[in-house]
Amino acid sequence: MSREGLRYQTFSRRAFLLAGAQGLALATLGSRLYYLAIIEGDQYKLRADKNRISLRWIAPERGEIFDRFGRKLATNRQDFRVFLIPEQAHKVTDTLARLGRIVQLDDRRLARVERQIKRQRKFMPVTVAQGLTWKTFARVNVEMPSLPGVVTDSGLSRYYPDGIDVAHIVGYMASPQEDDMNTSPLYQLPGFKVGRQGLERRYEDQLRGKAGTRRVEVNAVGREIRELPPRQDAVRGENINLALDLDLQKFTMERLGEEAAGAVLVDVQSGDILAMGSSPSFDPNEFTNGISHENWQALLKDPRKPLINKPVAGLYPPGSTFKPIMALAALESGVVKPDTTHYCNGSFQLGSHTFHCWRHRGHGRVNLEQAIQQSCDVYFYKVAADMDIDNIADMARRFGLGAVFDVGVDGEKEGLVPDRDWKHRVMHDQWHLGETLNVSIGQGALLVTPLQLAIMSARIAGGNKVWPSLVRSLDGEPDTNRSFLPLDVNPLHLKVVRRGMEMVMEAGGTAHDWHRPKSAIRQAGKTGSAQIKRITKSERQTGIIKQEDLPWAERDHALFIGYAPADAPEVATGILVQHGAHGGSTAAPIARDMMDKALELKRQREGKPLPITTATAGPVKGTPPPPDPDGEAD
């Protein structure tokens, strides 16, 4: 064979060999593909779907809160918001700077935005601003082409039309705490808020509703491409209907003004809380969009404690407003009869200790009704000296002191009704008679809330174990058939105490000078001044400093309980004005106006005219006479 032939043969042989190798290589690729697509195909199909299908949550519309007449206390309104999607912004800082020329962005807000950007994935929108006006929102939309990464949307956000008037009741909304971020998938939604105080927090689950879901096709960076059926719509949260009367609530707040005070007005028969004011207040709308640092600090530092819901969370000694309970306890335990009299010379000696009456020249001989009317301390000291503290405590509890009513707002306190057991258990000591004397005039360890005072007053007025209610119903007809069992107290005894409380408003009563109701409806009540500062012996000798001359924080708390109309009670109230000095001059007029207003509104709604003030209710015209220098304690 020629050399050329050999060369040719070698080439041919080896070319066929390589062709075979090529075929083998192709077969390898083919079988690999067969393995991936046919044998493992289902698994890869599943993984492809897992890649592209993402479950997205739909925020439910939050339930609204209404007053007893269906007026909105908390609602949802269209909110214009601006988000930033970091991935789409060329440079986040540039975009934010340009956005800052349209929307006001302070440093704290910017810092928060940047923190959030670092925390989440780059395609997730970060809330930059919300609660924008339509005008600003429109400007952002117009400028959008020069704001890469900026997205606008309008969603629902919480709005309180009369926020300042109902702040402590409804509470407020704020962003979920960072610790809670993983507890609900909804928290990941931009701008999602949760209830932080009041009803918003207490009824969070009911108000929130149920989140919906939708399946969306997403691309590799997680951007939404389209929605895939089926979609599960969100279920709207339940509405809350309150017993509150917004008119009366607003009136109460206006009347409390700038005082640090808490006032509650309840319906004597149903226990409906018609008004529950706490002052000073704050605007819960500020929290929805994130309260500014300055405003938050101001709320925290205010000595009048605007954030405390005083009617349920403020604890105060009841002072002389406790005397009706003391009187009932004495009557029920047989220590006094309705006509029992005691002589008051201005003080009472127990062992080596002298207990003073607020009126140091004394009240002379007074019976029980007069003792309540004039708030004679010595009468009650003398009664208390013959009584067991446990009987007093029992009577206090029957009237609602020491009880948590759980009306639906945060931080309700139970207060303290001291007795032997408490003294032994908590103070590890025996009960001393002197303490009974202190309790008898509402001092000592006794602590109550204004809500408890209002219920106490309502129970005295109605004789029933009335229970307060703020929330009448969730999504539905209110339960109006509330009735209460009568109190286990002799009605004759109650009658004596009520008469005493009527006399408080009449000539000689501690509230008489300030009691000028607009209407002719007779009211009954009891003043109280709770001492903050102990009066020393030397002060008694040199003359007690007038309350008005003391610094604000050292003045007595002013209290008042009352009900009206006196002969057929419909509404009852309990009110406290912190450091208001005198129950009669500070608390009583507010309570008087609240009760008047409540009845006026009630008559209006029932179509009945309100009796106009006549001359029977004491001096009407002119300024009140200057308080008797001795008559200012209460």
Contact footprint for another protein (CB under 8 A): 1-8, 10-12, 14-16, 18-19, 22-23, 25-26, 28-30, 32-34, 36-38, 40-41, 43-45, 47-49, 51-52, 217-221, 225
- The residue (of 15 and 97) whose beta carbon lies closer to another protein is 15
Choose between 30 and 476: whose C-beta lies nearer to another protein.
30
Minimum CB–partner distance for residue 54 and another protein (Å): 11
Which residue carries 């025996």 as its tokens?
Answer: 430
* 37: three-class secondary structure by DSSP: helix
- The pair phi, psi for residue 406, each rounded to 5°, is 55, 60
Which secondary-structure segment (H or E) carries 412? none
Q: Answer for the pair 524, 317: CB distance below 8 angstroms, yes or no.
A: no
Q: Shortest Cβ distance from residue 221 to another protein (Å)?
A: 7
Q: Which two three-digit tokens encode residue 366?
A: 């007074």
What single-letter amino acid sits at 414? Answer: E
Under DSSP, is residue 123 helix (H, G, I), strand (E, B) or coil? Answer: coil
Least distance (Å) from another protein to the CB of residue 216? 11
Tokens 């890869």: give the residue.
44
Per-residue tokens: 472: 């009448």
Please return the burial class of 179, using the count of CB atoms within 10 Å of its CB with bins 0-12, 13-18 and 19+. exposed
Nearer to another protein, 47 or 365 (CB): 47
Q: Name the phi and psi angles at 197, rounded to 5.
A: -145, 170
Shorter beta-carbon distance to another protein: residue 42 or 549: 42
- Supply 440's token pair: 């008898």
Task: Report in angstroms how near the CB of residue 43 gets to another protein at its nearest.
Answer: 7
Give which of 29, 248, 40, 220 is closest to 121, Cα–Cα. Answer: 220
Distances (CA, A) of 460 to 33, 102, 611: 89, 61, 25
342 secondary structure, DSSP code: E
Instruction: Please report how close the Cβ of residue 299 comes to another protein at its closest, in angstroms.
Output: 46
Q: Torsion angle, CA of 599/601/603/609, rounded to 10 degrees?
A: 100
Compute φ and ψ for 604, nearest 5 degrees. Answer: -60, -45
Distance in Å, CB of 181 to another protein, minimum:
23
Task: Identify whether 320 is a catalytic site residue.
Answer: yes
Strands 72-84 and 150-159: antiparallel
CB 56 → another protein: shortest distance, Å? 15
Residue closer to another protein, measured from CB, 16 or 552: 16
Between 12 and 345, CB nearer to another protein:
12
Q: Which amino acid is at 504?
A: V
Listed as own residue / partner, the contacts of 491-498 with beta carbons closer than 8 Å and 24 or more positions apart are 491/463, 492/338, 493/328, 493/331, 493/332, 493/338, 494/328, 494/460, 494/463, 496/327, 496/331, 496/338, 496/368, 496/369, 497/324, 497/327, 497/328, 497/331, 497/372, 497/460, 498/460, 498/461, 498/524, 498/566
Least Cβ distance, residue 30 to another protein (angstroms): 6
Of 584, 23, 559, whose CA–CA distance to 261 is shortest? 559
Complex with another protein: residue 37 or 620, whichever CB lies closer: 37
Indicate the residue among 49 and 302 with the shorter CB distance to another protein.
Answer: 49
Q: How do 341-344 and 557-564 pair as beta strands?
A: unpaired
300 forms beta bridges with none
Nearer to another protein, 88 or 473 (CB): 88
Catalytic residue among 320, 440, 457, 519: 320
Nearest-approach distance from CB 207 to another protein, in angstroms:
38
Which positions are catalytic? 320
